[in-house]
Structure 1
């Protein structure tokens, strides 16, 4: 709970070696005791330090301001368990520059979110925007520690939080899902849309203390496990009565890519769907390449064929590019400089291909150029390099409703849970940004559709607790054909079915990891009839799969307002099944509707990362703190450090035997002066097999 305030302070997220010893800084420290006792100890032992905020609801901690010299003394106090923010969080946004109407695709309602408080934990909000002024009610900033959660408008400018807020509750030229909801902003991500785990947790506490009915978190990291601190903070907020909606992440289309805090079992985790649309495609010969515009790019409107011109990473000036499409490799030169060079050289458009696997998001940093600038994958870019004498044509393709390729997929390691829970529009979403409107894409844009819908449900049913709100949204969702549960959960959200559900279902059938030759287990599906009429319910088995035997209940009649618990049993003959994820749906038929309950089990093992979220950071008292997540128990684990670029071996820095699954953290005592960029190679031994993963580290 916030007790003290201070304007103009700074959180350091990457250590303290760069700050002069007399400079005034503000840090958040996590404690293993009550903040009151710790504050008393500071006042008596370190009177030059100033406590600017106190937290005791979601976690125990304080924000403290002082010189580096004094803060180093603070770090030696026994109660301090973590001296500064560690894990970096990013917005879950991808750039796009085409617009379409999405809200009508979700249905209609007379509810508008009136009287419902929605907290947007994000990059802040431009509350001066004419479409947000009416509904904005206040908030807090855990980056600068003041009462002004304004979007970053100067260096490292952001637009993300303002866009998210508009989807939820814009009320002006544009109208959001819940246009009469009360919008509060909690700025936990600063310049460039970056923030830390402790800033996010502090923002969650601020929102809970301010009495938010719904919180939206369009942010995340790459830790695919339920035990990360931000996931626990979300669980705690839900326990205290706040409905929490979280973006699944933009690391798709691979499985096991949903990241914390979307891994929270009780949060409403949201994936992204692309609605039917017309998209530009580059066609060379018989091959077609999808184009992803950078944020701020002009619309791709080329109508003729153009030759390609290759400009490397754009380090030098570009010649002979007039009337051509310039192709760059990502790296070294910023996107906006590449684009400007292409424009000055007379190019018709610029393509930037990734220098690592998959796609990427990028921005032109507010530069307005009359030529379009787009991104493609590394694979597509390298193929383009082979087409030196080819001309490229633009064609426009009609695309059906589909899962967005970038949308992160489940399941979740160690808990083996099905995520996401539902999906919503996340491609080509027009909303408010500082100074106007712009389209963006990402699960960041899908989550606020669901947060807005949660506000409508809460207005219609003010006595419903978060669990029931989640049940309503999931039960009201419509399953997309041909899409698996770990991609869409219980399906595409629907406004009317969620607000006035004819049934409330609770009970995803998560059977976990199956390692026995013969397996048998049962799960409970809880069904509530919220109507004033008796409902007849029948359950259909999933399609026959070799090695699976299902037992489902017969016809059940549920009285008005009553709840029934139905048992579903699964038997597995392991020898008849392949390794990996097995999933699908059971169908529940009621008197008037049809519902789909997802099921999942993992045979033996999956292709998930055994180690994720690895980080090393220097503490105030010059120790090195490590933290990472293990999806399985390891017999041995070692960490070797290499200099980035040269890959010169810096030696083994950590060895641990017999680690449990979940979060692992501790400190390393070392006198080595590590500075700059490194690569950590983490090797885990599981059942005699070694798995090695690399992570970037910066001191």
Structure 2
């Protein structure tokens, strides 16, 4: 590990983790009413309450009992679905929104160190992502945000909570991710990497940040079915044992992800925020970023951006303190934000990633809308959509590329920064201009 100045790389025990979440601290709960089912080839699951059929793969999500599944002739194998509760990282909870700062009425591009370092402005001279589609599998991308344009016709809610799609019902996270990909080039607010892509919301989180592995799998299959060129998954489960049910979850995920890739959908997935060496972590796996065909993204970030000082303590391409890593587990590294946990400088949050925010509003437990603003957050959750946006640009410039060819272009263009460990970068640090 190279010397990266004042930052301390933290090691977080994952012994109690095991769900699907958009943050770093989760608790998992096995559902007793829903199951992931592997079917025996063609033929329906007549007599079972099917939640998600997932056409194109031999898997489904169903409600029912174990006895029903054991007796059914078309069921080959099954395991309980998993539901989790999310706790956001502390550094994100402390970060302000723009309304709490002095830049409320200003153009916010000068605060987007990530877009500046990637030179998105120059990339946009070639393409802004026209004629591409990016699906965001997350807490919901709010179509009401003035800096976003979401395709509401094909957006879907996979949770079954009856709160609809293209909204922030599941929390702010998906809107922040969506803005990193596709915030509009409209002269105000922030700019997305692929501002002209067709942005689709696939909401898999309900209020209180509850999510289901089965809903996520169904959203991946759906994204491929609507010809999304990229699907972004800023979520993850770590550690999951490779044994028992974990083996079944891995098999299901690999089948779904291979199907999506074959259909032309590149899966950009957050590598996780556990400071874990995924290459040497024993008989466990990080899902879905270690699944088949995943473009697994680690996070980088500066220390000292816009602190009122002339130089940075660490450059934008340096590994973030929280990012997971591993030579064969990471595909690319990209800007995700960093933080000096010991600094007293009030401008610490400028090292996080600025994007669109939609804070959900509830009245008597009913979702009624959202408050729209801009705010800072850090995580591999922010790094993955920077790669997803870049992939949309490459696809826009090369319409005949397959998902593998798009990923290959991004990997060939990337380099590991001098004096840094390859384990944090895979093929290297995202380079959009060379990829184009």
Whether the 8 Å CA contact 2:156–2:166 is kept in 1: the answer is no
Cα distance in 2 between the residues matched to 1:92 and 1:421: 25
Whether the 8 Å CA contact 1:58–1:201 is kept in 2: the answer is no
Pick the structure with more helix per residue: 2
- Gap change, CA 1:181 and 1:165, over 3 Å in 2: same
Whether the 8 Å CA contact 1:117–1:181 is kept in 2: the answer is yes
Give per-residue Cα distances to partners, 1:34-70, cap 9 Å, x unaligned: 474322xx1xxxxxx7545422324421445xxxxx7
Cα distance in 1 between the residues matched to 2:199 and 2:287: 24
For 1:461, which of 393, 398, 406 is the aligned residue? 398
> How far off its partner does 1:479 sit?
1.7
For 2:373, which of 406, 416, 436 is the aligned residue? 436
- Gap change, CA 1:454 and 1:269, over 3 Å in 2: same
Cα distance in 1 between the residues matched to 2:239 and 2:174: 23
Cα distance in 2 between the residues matched to 1:472 and 1:184: 24
Output aligned runs, 1:554-565, within 5 Å.
none
Partner residue in 2 for 1:236: 259
1:217 matched to 2:266? The reply is: no
Output aligned runs, 1:96-495, within 5 Å.
97=95, 100-107=112-119, 108-109=122-123, 110=125, 111-133=127-149, 137-144=153-160, 148-153=164-169, 158-171=171-184, 172=186, 173=188, 174-223=190-239, 228=250, 229-252=252-275, 254=277, 256=279, 259-278=286-305, 398-401=312-315, 402-411=318-327, 418-427=328-337, 428-434=352-358, 435-495=372-432
Q: Which has the higher contact order (CA 8 A, sep 6+)?
A: 2
Cα distance in 2 between the residues matched to 1:91 and 1:408: 18
> How far off its partner does 1:484 sit?
1.7
- Gap change, CA 1:199 and 1:35, over 3 Å in 2: farther
1:74 matched to 2:68? The reply is: yes
> How far off its partner does 1:455 sit?
0.2
Aligned-partner SS, 1:252: coil
Whether the 8 Å CA contact 2:228–2:265 is kept in 1: the answer is yes
Partner residue in 1 for 2:81: 85
Whether the 8 Å CA contact 1:102–1:429 is kept in 2: the answer is yes
Aligned-partner SS, 2:217: helix
Give per-residue Cα distances to partners, 1:506-561, cap 9 Å, x unaligned: xxxxxxxxxxxxxxxxxxxxxxxxxxxxxxxxxxxxxxxxxxxxxxxxxxxxxxxx
- Gap change, CA 1:197 and 1:216, over 3 Å in 2: same
Aligned-partner SS, 2:130: coil
Whether the 8 Å CA contact 1:89–1:197 is kept in 2: the answer is no
Alignment RMSD, CA only? 3.2
Whether the 8 Å CA contact 1:116–1:459 is kept in 2: the answer is yes
TM-score norm. by structure 1 comes to 0.45
- Gap change, CA 1:58 and 1:410, over 3 Å in 2: farther
Cα distance in 2 between the residues matched to 1:73 and 1:265: 31
- Gap change, CA 1:198 and 1:136, over 3 Å in 2: same
1:38 matched to 2:6? The reply is: no
Whether the 8 Å CA contact 1:92–1:219 is kept in 2: the answer is no
Which entry has the higher C-alpha Rg, 1 or 2?
Answer: 1
- Gap change, CA 1:122 and 1:164, over 3 Å in 2: same
TM-score norm. by structure 2 comes to 0.70
> How far off its partner does 1:266 sit?
2.5
Give per-residue Cα distances to partners, 1:146-166, cap 9 Å, x unaligned: 69224454xxx5111111011
Partner residue in 2 for 1:630: none
Cα distance in 2 between the residues matched to 1:35 and 1:89: 35
Aligned-partner SS, 1:120: strand
